[in-house]
Amino acid sequence: MSNIVAIVGRPNVGKSTFFNRLIQRREAIVDAVSGVTRDRHYGKSDWNGKEFSLIDTGGYVLGSDDVFEAEIDKQVELAIGEADAIIFMVDVEDGVTGMDEDVAELLRRVNKPVFLVVNKVDNGKRAKDAVEFYSLGLGDYFTVASINGSGTGELLDALVEALPEKEDVEEETLPRFAVVGRPNAGKSSFINALIGEDRYIVTDIAGTTRDSIDTKYNRFGFDFNLVDTAGIRRKSKVKEDLEFYSVMRSVRAIEHSDVCLIVLDATRGFDGQVQNIFWLAQRNRKGIVILVNKWDLVEKDHKSMKEYERVIKQQMEPFTDVPVVFISVLTKQRIYKAIETAVEVYKNRSKKIKTSKLNEIFLPIIESYPPPAYKAKYVKIKYIMQLPTPQPQFAFFCNLPQYVKEPYKRFLENKLREQFDFKGVPISVYMRKK
């Protein structure tokens, strides 16, 4: 299980820019407007061979009357509670502010590694100005310029050194099916319905479940672990913004799963929270099944199911080869179909295709539809093989791999899906030098 690192600080210190730098992908919204990071952003990074998950939090503003800033503050506090280490970012241009002191006061009570990072230090004068941040009482600091990455290496060296070693989990031979989704979508009720007992406490308060719990399960002659992003928490304690907490738990559950059953509430649809979890699973290359729960509450006709599925798949583009199962936990409608589908997706993810068969099928396809010429140079693909990885990854060996663009890679992926059943499974296509 990888560590979680939270990036915190007041608004407008460059947290999202730094987050994008670390995950090497422009994923978070970067804007000069205070509070633009209202939705949390999650990503994976690694340094010196050590992987960790990153959370980009919103700007912390203590005592604000703004309802959004109050919610952001709750989420920052949750992120600090969940994280294994914290990056506290400040801005050398503004110096120490009252809001910085508020964040420092919060972090001084935390018994976790805290890295004070002074941003926008891109010259010697600013490096001297950074000395004033010793007054925050958090010890030594690191100077960086998130816009160009200066100083990032020294920070990351110290960060990965301080991250706690996760206990080695005993090798688990059984596949793991993680049941994830936004709070109150029916995740625990789904598992209770499957196993026929109230293994998990189910309440009407969103977010009752907190920690991952495994249940060994057998269906269709297939043994596996069902993992609920669950854990018991007294009602009196369930006061935070738990949609945020749900996604944080989903990060960990997804990382250690083989297939993710993403449960959504049919009355709410495939909204931003569910999409966030979906793309987390997709980026982690996990098998995916979408379960539309509470289907019994939806007014429908003979076209409703197809239309609902069409809307969902439109929002998944370009990865639309994902099974969607309409269920009702209350009436137990199609709950076993959901598990049957998850087993099929697991088998698809584990599928190995012989190199001879790949070449026999694909070389004629490529000959008929070769990659477009680029700068008057022609790409010739000579050989295809599946890589020995836990999920489907394919290498296409050719003379000029740098000239094969994304549209043609998507064409190859679509052909792989046509020829072999990879429903519910992300596929990686790599071009390699022959």
Q: Is 228 annotated as a binding residue?
A: yes
Q: Is 9 annotated as a binding residue?
A: yes
Q: Is 250 annotated as a binding residue?
A: no
CB atoms within 10 A of CB 364: 10
Residue type, 408: Y
Q: Is 60 annotated as a binding residue?
A: yes
- Helix, coil or strand: residue 238: coil
Q: Is 151 annotated as a binding residue?
A: no
Classify 9 in phi/psi space as left (phi over 0), alpha (psi -120 to 50) or beta.
Answer: left
Q: Is 241 annotated as a binding residue?
A: no
**99, 153, 177, 262, 271 from 274: Cα distances, Å:** 32, 34, 17, 8, 5
Q: Is 15 annotated as a binding residue?
A: yes
Q: Is 232 annotated as a binding residue?
A: yes
Q: Is 284 annotated as a binding residue?
A: no
Q: Comparing C-alpha atoms, which of 402, 396, 386 is closest to residue 430?
A: 396
Q: Is 186 annotated as a binding residue?
A: yes
Q: Is 43 annotated as a binding residue?
A: no
Q: Is 187 annotated as a binding residue?
A: yes
Q: Is 10 annotated as a binding residue?
A: yes
Q: Judge contact between 83 and 117, C-beta under 8 A.
A: no
* Sheet hosting strand 176-181, strand order edge to edge: 212-219, 222-229, 176-181, 259-265, 287-293, 324-326
Q: Is 164 annotated as a binding residue?
A: no
Q: Is 67 annotated as a binding residue?
A: no
Question: Which structure tokens are listed for 206?
Answer: 């969103």
Q: Is 58 annotated as a binding residue?
A: yes
Q: Is 196 annotated as a binding residue?
A: no
Q: Is 253 annotated as a binding residue?
A: no
Q: Is 121 annotated as a binding residue?
A: yes
Q: Is 294 annotated as a binding residue?
A: yes
Task: Report the alpha-carbon distance of residue 427 to residue 214 in Å, rounded.
Answer: 27
Question: Which structure tokens are listed for 2?
Answer: 């990888």
Task: Report the alpha-carbon distance of residue 325 to residue 434 in Å, rounded.
Answer: 42
Q: Is 95 annotated as a binding residue?
A: no
Q: Is 246 annotated as a binding residue?
A: no
Q: Is 296 annotated as a binding residue?
A: yes
222 phi and psi angles, rounded to 5 deg: -130, 125
Q: Is 183 annotated as a binding residue?
A: yes
Q: How far apart are the first and last CA of the chain?
A: 36
Q: Is 276 annotated as a binding residue?
A: no
Q: Is 122 annotated as a binding residue?
A: yes
Question: Which residues fall in the annotated binding site?
Answer: 9-16, 56-60, 119-122, 181-188, 228-232, 293-296
Question: Which residues fall in the annotated binding site for GTP?
Answer: 9-16, 56-60, 119-122, 181-188, 228-232, 293-296
